[in-house]
Structure 1
Amino acid sequence: ETSLPAPMFSRNTISVFSILKKCIGQELSKITMPIVFNEPLSFLQRITEYMEHTYLINRACSLSDSTERMQAVAAFAVSAVASQWERTGKPFNPLLGETYELIREEQGFRLVSEQVSHHPPVSAFHAESLVGDFVFHGSIYPKLKFWGKSVEAEPKGTITLELLKHNETYTWTNPTCCVHNIILGKLWIEQYGTVEILNHSTGDKCVLNFKPCGMFGKELHTVEGYIQDKSKKKLCVIYGKWTECMWSVDPQVYESQKKSEKKGDDKVSDDATREEVDRAVNDDADDMPDVQETVSVVPGSTLLWRIDPRPAHSSTMYNFTNFAMSLNELEPGMEGILAPTDCRFRPDIKAMENGNMDEASQEKERLEEKQRAARKERAKSNQEWSTRWFQSGTNPYTGSQDWIYSGGYFNRNYRNLPDIY
C-alpha cells in the first residue's frame, strides 16, 4: 500500500487558539482535542514505527565486534524517531485494552502492543525476531505539555533491546519531541535531550545529544555523541541528523576536524555585523529556521544509517512514510485472524482515513463515551481493569517498573477480550 484512501483535511479552518487557551500549563492527556489535530493512526501504531529500520537490529545481531554492535544499535535508536520528521498530526489516544499487531516476514519480526493504562496513558509493546535473534520491548507514557506556542511530548518509559545470541541487553529512553507554532505559522518539529544507550553486558555506553535548534537554526536536527567503554575511554564519535543520516568516526579525527573548522569559522564570525547579531537575538525562537544545510561528513567516517525518501504525495498524507502508510491496512484474510481489539478496526480512525471527518469526530466521541461508561460500571462493583497481554513488573536490567509481555497473543485465542469499539 503506498497511499491512503483520501488526502488529509486542511487544518487552517479551525481556531486553534480558542481550544488551546483552556490548556495552558495543563496535562494534555486530560483534554479532548478536536479530530483535525489528529492523524489517522493510533499511538500504538505510531510506536510500531520504531520497527521501520529493523535491518539495523539484524545488522547488530550479525556483527562480532561489540563496538560495531553498539554503533548499529545507536543508529537504530536514532532511526526510531526519524519518522516523526514533519509529522505534526497527533496520533489517536488508544482506548484501554486496544491492541495492535504487525508481522513482517521480509523484515523478520512480529510485534504486539496493548494500551495497558488510561490515566496515565501507557502503551506497552513487544517485538521479537522470527528466527530468534532479538527481542525488543518497552512501555511508553507520553507526557504532553502545552507552552503557549508549542507542545512538548516527553516519551517517558524505557526501551530494551536484547541481542540473544550475543547475550547482550541495551536500554535507553527516547528524546523529547516538540511541535512548534501550533497557533500561527508553519508547524515544525524539534527533538532534543540526551539519549543514553547502555550495554548491560559490557558496560559500554553510547551518549547521544539531540541538540535543540540553536541560533540561526544551525543545530536543527543535529545529533552528536560518542561510544565509551566502561572505563570511560572514548571508542568512537557518532554524528549526523535524525532526519537524514548518522556516521561514526575515530574520536581524534573528529576533534582535529572540528578544530580546523572552528579556525575557519572564527574568521567568518568576526565579520558578522552587529545588526545581524541583534536580528538573531530578537528573532522569535518559535520561528522555523531556514537553514536546511545537510550533514558535513568528516573524512574517514563510516555511514551507519540513511533515511529512506518519503513517498511523493507524503505531504498531502499527513507526512507519512511508506511504512506508516501501510500500518492501518486490512489485508484480505486479516479480519478473521486479528484480535477484535486491533486498532485497524477502530471506526473513528477508519473514517478519518477515508476523509469522512464528521463521522470520524462522532465516532471518536462515541468511543470515548463508551470507555467512560465502562469505567463507571467497573467502579460500581470495585472491579480493577485487568490487562490481557502484558503484566506490570520490574525491568530486570534497569530495576524500574515496566510492562512485561506475558505471551500467548499469537496463539490467537481471543475469547473474553473487552468490547471496546
Structure 2
Amino acid sequence: MSSSRNKLENKGFFASMSSSLSMFSNAMHRSVNGLLGYENLEVVNPEGGKDDAEEEAHKGRWKQEERDSYWKMMHKYIGSDVTSMVTLPVIIFEPMTMLQKMAELMEYCHLLDQANECEDPYLRLVYAASWAISVYYAFQRTWKPFNPILGETYEMVNHNGITFLSEQVSHHPPMSAGHCENEHFTYDVTSKLKTKFLGNSLDVYPVGRTRVTLKRSGVVLDLVPPPTKVNNLIFGRTWVDSPGEMILTNLTTGDKVVLYFQPCGWFGAGRYEVDGYVYDANEEPKLLMTGKWNESMSYQPCDAEGEPLPGTELKEVWHLADTAKDDKFQYTYFAHKINSFDTAPKKLLASDSRLRPDRYALEMGDLSKSGTEKSSLEERQRAEKRNREAKGDQFSPRWFDLTEEIATTPWGDMEVYQYNGKYTEHRAAIDSLDIVEVEEFKTKEFNPWQYNDFSAA
C-alpha cells in the first residue's frame, strides 16, 4: 500500500491510495505542493500576469483609487464575518443575485438524469459527483452577486424539464432555500454562507445542507462542498480557488465519493485539479476520478489499493460546454439564460430576482442608477423590519417551511428549511391558464414585500 502511494505521488496523478478517509486530505495536499517544495506559500497571481490592478482598471470598473478607498473602509473588519454587516458598492457586483447563482448548478443537470438511470451504484456516484463539480467553472467569477431581499425568489423552467425555485428565507443570518425537480430527481438545499475577511482575501464557508433524491432508486445523496477562497480581493487581480474536500455520500447505502480540490501552488501549479475515489460502504476504493473543475472529469475502475485496473482506461463523463469569449461579466451562455426571461415561467412571481431594478440597471451598465436602486431596496427592507417588529409579526417564507431539524456541517450547525409543495400547486394552476406574460415582464414591479403599504412602514 505504501509503495503504491509513493508511486502515484511521484507520478503526480493521485496523492493517496489509502482508503482511509481520515488521511485522504493530508496526502492529497502533499501531491502537488509537497513535490514542488512550495508548501505554505500563498500565490500572488496564478496567471503570472503583471500590472494587474492597471489591467483591471482598463475594464472600466474598480479603479485603483476606488480600491484604496475601499481598503480604508474594510481593514477594520479583518477577521470578521462580513456576510451581511457591510454595505458594498455596486462596482464590485455582477447583475445576478445569489438566488440566481444557486440555479447555475443546474446547467449540467442531465448528469443527475444519468445517475438516476444508471444501474451501477458506483458509476451512479461518478455522474452525481461530476454534476456537483461542474458548477465550479461558474463559481470562479470574481464579481459579487447581489444579496437577496427577504422574500425574494427566483424561478427557472425550460431547461432539461426541470422546475427550479429558490427563496430568501432569512435576512439575519442570510439564508436561502431551493428546490428543483424533474422526472429523474429532486434537489433540496438550505444555504447559509459564512465568511472570514482576511484583508486582501476572503474565506467563504458553504454552511448548508444539500440533498438529491434519485427517483428511480429512491437513493438520497448528501453533498458537502469544499470552502472557497477569494484572493487579491482589493489589490491585484482577483481570483478564486476552492482547495479542500468535496464529499458526496449515498445516505441509503453508505457508499461515498471523496474528491480533493488541489490548492493552487506557485505559478498556478495544480490549480483546477480534482482527484479522488468512489468508495463502497467499507471504505474500499472502487473507481478513481480525476480531472479539472474548469474542463472535464473522468473515471476509471481501480483495485483495492486504488491502482487502475489493467486493461481499463479513463472515460470522460463531463466536459465543459463552449463558453462566451471576452464576456463583460465572465458569464457562460447558461448564466445569460438565467438572467433572461427565456427561462421564466408564465406569470412570473413579482418577487423574482430578474425584476430587481438595481440588478437590471447594472446589467444595462448604469452603475449610478444601480447604486441608487440598491440603497432604496435596502432601506425598504429595513423599514419592513421596523414595521414587523412594531406589529409583533414574524416573517414566514411563502414556499418553504422552517423545520425542527438542525443540520451539522464542518463549519457549524444550521436550521433546515423544507419545500412545502405550495409552489407546485401554484405553478400547475398558472400553467393551466392560456396566458403569455412575456411583454409584462419588462414593466412588472419588483415586489418581495410583506407589507404592500409602504407608507405604513
TM-score (norm 1): 0.81
- Pair 1:170 & 2:170 matched: no
Contact 2:276 2:289 in 1 (8 A): yes
Per the alignment, residue 403 of structure 2 pairs with 393
Q: Which whole-Å deviations, capped at 9, do the CAs of 1:305-351 have from their partners, x for residues lacking one?
A: 1111311232x2x111111112122359x696011101111010010
Per the alignment, residue 417 of structure 2 pairs with 403
- Pair 1:94 & 2:148 matched: yes
Within 5 A, what are the aligned runs for 1:217-236?
217-236=268-287
Per the alignment, residue 25 of structure 1 pairs with 79
Q: Give me the whole-angstrom Cα distance separating, in 2, the residues matched to 1:335 and 1:68.
A: 34
Per the alignment, residue 207 of structure 1 pairs with 258
Contact 2:201 2:231 in 1 (8 A): yes
Contact 2:401 2:417 in 1 (8 A): yes
Per the alignment, residue 95 of structure 2 pairs with 40
Q: Which whole-Å deviations, capped at 9, do the CAs of 1:211-233 have from their partners, x for residues lacking one?
A: 21134532212211111111111
Q: Which whole-Å deviations, capped at 9, do the CAs of 1:162-210 have from their partners, x for residues lacking one?
A: 0011110100122211111112211111012211111012211111111
Q: Give me the whole-angstrom Cα distance separating, in 2, the residues matched to 1:382 and 1:173.
A: 37
- Cα distance change on mapping 1:312 and 1:100 into 2, 3 Å: same
Within 5 A, what are the aligned runs for 1:62-101?
62-85=117-140, 87-101=141-155
Per the alignment, residue 125 of structure 1 pairs with 178
- Cα distance change on mapping 1:240 and 1:389 into 2, 3 Å: same
> How far off its partner does 1:24 sit?
1.4
Q: State the AA in 1 paired with 2:178.
A: F
- Pair 1:381 & 2:391 matched: yes
- Cα distance change on mapping 1:335 and 1:241 into 2, 3 Å: closer
- Cα distance change on mapping 1:11 and 1:401 into 2, 3 Å: same
Contact 2:152 2:353 in 1 (8 A): yes
Per the alignment, residue 329 of structure 1 pairs with 340
Within 5 A, what are the aligned runs for 1:298-377?
300-314=313-327, 316=328, 318-331=329-342, 337-377=347-387
> How far off its partner does 1:26 sit?
2.0
Per the alignment, residue 281 of structure 1 pairs with none
Q: Which whole-Å deviations, capped at 9, do the CAs of 1:82-112 have from their partners, x for residues lacking one?
A: 3112x0000000000000000024x121100
> How far off its partner does 1:395 sit?
6.2
Per the alignment, residue 273 of structure 1 pairs with none
Contact 1:56 1:76 in 2 (8 A): yes
Contact 2:158 2:342 in 1 (8 A): no
Per the alignment, residue 115 of structure 1 pairs with 168
Contact 2:250 2:256 in 1 (8 A): yes
Contact 1:43 1:94 in 2 (8 A): yes
> How far off its partner does 1:378 sit?
0.8
Contact 1:8 1:355 in 2 (8 A): no
Q: State the AA in 1 paired with 2:220.
A: T
Contact 1:341 1:418 in 2 (8 A): no
RMSD over aligned Cα atoms:
2.8
181-190 vs 369-378, greater mean Cα deviation: 181-190
Q: State the AA in 2 paired with 1:305.
A: W
Contact 1:178 1:189 in 2 (8 A): yes
- Cα distance change on mapping 1:226 and 1:376 into 2, 3 Å: same
Q: State the AA in 2 paired with 1:343.
A: S
Where 2:242 maps in the other structure, the secondary structure is strand
Q: Work out the percentage of aligned pairs sharing the same amino acid.
A: 32
Where 1:21 maps in the other structure, the secondary structure is helix
- Pair 1:151 & 2:205 matched: no
Where 1:165 maps in the other structure, the secondary structure is coil
Contact 1:140 1:156 in 2 (8 A): yes
- Cα distance change on mapping 1:416 and 1:232 into 2, 3 Å: closer
> How far off its partner does 1:62 sit?
1.6
- Cα distance change on mapping 1:400 and 1:358 into 2, 3 Å: closer
Q: Structure 1: which 5+ residue stretches go unaligned? A: 1-6, 258-297
Equivalent pairs counted in the alignment come to 368
From 167, 175, 190, the equivalent of 1:139 is 190
Where 1:166 maps in the other structure, the secondary structure is coil
- Cα distance change on mapping 1:306 and 1:125 into 2, 3 Å: same
TM-score (norm 2): 0.75
- Cα distance change on mapping 1:374 and 1:236 into 2, 3 Å: same
> How far off its partner does 1:254 sit?
9.2
> How far off its partner does 1:78 sit?
0.7
